[in-house]
């Protein structure tokens, strides 16, 4: 799917797009485009007039700009055009006006989700937790646009949006953790120069796979490019893939994913009224989940760490407690050896009702594809809202933003089969052949810039990047205690795309705007 953090999973369903030939790609790639329009939106009781730009910038892989001319002449199209939609508040002092670069994940997703669902001046209307009917879709002025606090640049990843990649090694040059972060760093540096925003307060906002991108990217910007940012905003975080609840089959012996996912399982079971015993009021849910988290990291962790030495009585006692926290049957938990991964949980929780539970947002449910399957075979939330976002953006960019180009907008590069997750952490001499972990990158950036602030946002009902994993990762960064105060945490009654739930969008906007205003150094 277009915006997932866990793109190593079966969330992307279409094969790779491949690199374009030089002749086919040249008109789109080698000429930056720009379409300018104007608009206004009312946020917080005030009207904001803005200039909008739909455009592309051209980036090359690392080393290309410094390569000898004879090398360039042999590969003239080692290039990516990266498309963006930028919004600038009219009449603002650029030197004092914050600017935020926003992007979704995938990897290989365009940024229509944050754009059309969260912070752009127009927002698509979708079902809160049910399937959105087919077109026509509704667009409304977004009273929760982040334009009240910052100028906004929605950046599409290489190969997505109106951008394309070309060249003999294009997939290798742009489809990977490190090369992707480098491409985004070149885009940002060009953008700061093109629009004279070098002295503006600067922020990164990444969702899903955009959170590991942010960690790798902020380290490049801070330590390679000498650009201090004011803040990094993370939504639906996953920095260490070894703790993914969806990747446990490939990493036996690591039980931490089950521990970190348990609070989310409890939240989802609560939402679907599957918890045995007394009902829990919504206001009491955070306290309940804190108790579940404590159990997960103590008694449950001890039981899992015991492995095959865990005696039968203790195993049964843990299974009974897990039943109280997840609603799953005791005999199922015993057969699962107390370890239920994300796909199994989503398939089993509502199987009696012939329903599959959503992955990105577990508030969504849909008809089960195969009741006999061990795993959920699709994501009801993706099926429920994706068409609305794609159609709404394609109409909006032409009707409101003045785009008249011939290039089709790609919501997804479908590049998962070509993505290189190997990563070279700071200070390490080569790429590490292990699950992606960019926690060292974020820690290094925070130590290099001790005034860098980080904001963590998560949804209780997110089963793609469970919220407690983000909390755990940030509390285990290799940073001095004095820097821990630079990190703040916010959680919402929603899923992976927190903003799909409008009350949560309202809170998300208020929290992010407050974060920017508290850290922009504008007196």
pLDDT tens readout for residues 257-276 = 999 999 999 999 999 999 99
Return the structure tokens found at 215: 């960690």
Side-chain half-sphere CA neighbours of 40 within 13 A: 7
Q: Using 50, 70 and 90 to split pLDDT, how confident is the model at 75?
A: low
Q: In the CATH hierarchy, which top-level class contains the domain 22-242+385-519?
A: alpha beta
433-439-444 Cα angle (round to 5): 110
The pTM of this model reads 0.92
pLDDT band at 329 (very low <50, low <70, confident <90, very high): very high
DSSP letter string over 413-438? ---GGG-B--B--TT-SS-BSSS-B-
Q: Is the dihedral of CA 496, 498, 500, 504 positive or negative?
A: positive
pLDDT one-digit tens code per residue, 467-519: 999 999 999 999 999 999 999 999 999 999 999 999 999 999 999 999 999 99
CA-CA-CA-CA torsion for 4, 99, 200, 90, nearest 10 degrees?
170
pLDDT of residue 276: 93
Average predicted confidence (pLDDT) for the chain: 90
Q: Which residue has the higher pLDDT, 69 or 419?
A: 419
Of residues 88, 98, 95, 93, the one with CA closest to residue 520 = 98
Backbone angles phi, psi at 122, to 5 degrees: -125, 145
Q: Could you give the residue ranges of the DSSP H alpha helices within 327-371?
A: 330-335, 342-348
Domain range summary for the chain, segments of one domain joined by +: 22-242+385-519, 253-380
pLDDT tens by residue, 118-151: 999 999 998 888 777 787 889 999 999 999 999 9
User: 333-337, 418-422, 443-447 — which is least confidently predicted?
Assistant: 418-422
pLDDT above 80: residue 235: yes
């Amino acid at each position: 799917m277009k915006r997932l953090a866990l793109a190593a999973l079966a969330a992307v369903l279409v094969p790779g797009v491949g690199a374009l030939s030089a002749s086919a790609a040249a008109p789109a790639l080698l000429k930056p485009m720009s379409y300018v329009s104007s608009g206004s939106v009312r946020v917080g009781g005030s009207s904001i007039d803005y200039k909008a730009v739909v455009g592309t910038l051209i980036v090359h892989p690392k080393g290309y700009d410094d390569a000898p001319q004879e090398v360039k002449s042999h590969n003239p199209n080692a290039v990516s055009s990266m498309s963006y939609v930028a919004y600038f508040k009219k009449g603002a002092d650029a030197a004092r006006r914050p600017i935020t670069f926003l992007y979704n994940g995938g990897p290989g997703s365009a940024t229509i989700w944050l754009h059309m669902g969260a912070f752009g001046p127009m927002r698509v209307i979708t079902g809160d937790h049910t399937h959105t009917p087919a077109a026509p879709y509704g667009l409304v002025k977004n009273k929760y646009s982040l334009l009240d606090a910052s100028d906004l640049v929605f950046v599409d990843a290489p190969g997505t949006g109106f951008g394309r990649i070309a060249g003999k090694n294009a997939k290798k040059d742009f489809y990977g953790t490190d090369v992707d972060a480098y491409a985004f760093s070149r885009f940002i540096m060009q953008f700061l120069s093109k629009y004279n925003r070098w002295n503006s307060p600067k922020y990164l906002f990444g969702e899903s796979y955009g959170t590991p991108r942010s960690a790798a990217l902020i380290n490049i910007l801070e330590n390679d490019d000498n650009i201090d940012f004011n803040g990094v905003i993370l939504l639906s975080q996953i920095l260490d893939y070894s703790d993914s609840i969806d990747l446990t089959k490939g990493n036996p012996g690591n039980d931490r994913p089950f521990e970190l996912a348990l609070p989310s399982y409890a939240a989802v079971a609560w939402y679907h009224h599957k918890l045995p015993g007394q009902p829990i009021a919504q206001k009491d849910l955070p306290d309940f989940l804190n108790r579940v988290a404590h159990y997960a990291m103590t008694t449950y962790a001890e039981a899992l760490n015991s492995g095959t030495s865990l005696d039968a009585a203790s195993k049964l006692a843990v299974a009974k407690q897990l039943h109280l926290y997840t609603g799953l049957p005791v005999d199922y938990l015993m057969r699962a050896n107390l370890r239920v991964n994300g796909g199994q949980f989503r398939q089993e929780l509502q199987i009696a009702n012939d329903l599959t539970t959503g992955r990105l947002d577990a508030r969504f449910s849909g008809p089960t594809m195969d009741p006999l399957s061990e795993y959920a075979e699709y994501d009801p939330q993706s099926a429920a809202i994706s068409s609305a976002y794609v159609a709404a953006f394609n109409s909006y960019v032409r009707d409101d933003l003045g785009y008249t180009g011939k290039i089709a907008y790609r919501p997804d590069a479908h590049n998962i089969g070509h993505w290189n997750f190997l990563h070279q952490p700071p200070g390490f001499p080569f790429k590490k052949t292990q699950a992606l972990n960019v926690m060292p990158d974020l820690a290094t950036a925070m130590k290099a810039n001790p005034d860098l602030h980080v904001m963590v946002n998560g949804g209780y009902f997110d089963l793609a990047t469970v919220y407690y994993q983000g909390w755990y990762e940030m509390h285990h960064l290799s940073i001095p205690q004095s820097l821990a105060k630079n990190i703040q945490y916010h959680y919402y009654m929603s899923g992976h795309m927190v903003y799909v739930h409008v009350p949560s969008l309202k809170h998300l906007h208020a929290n992010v705007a407050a974060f920017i205003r508290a850290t922009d150094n504008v007196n």
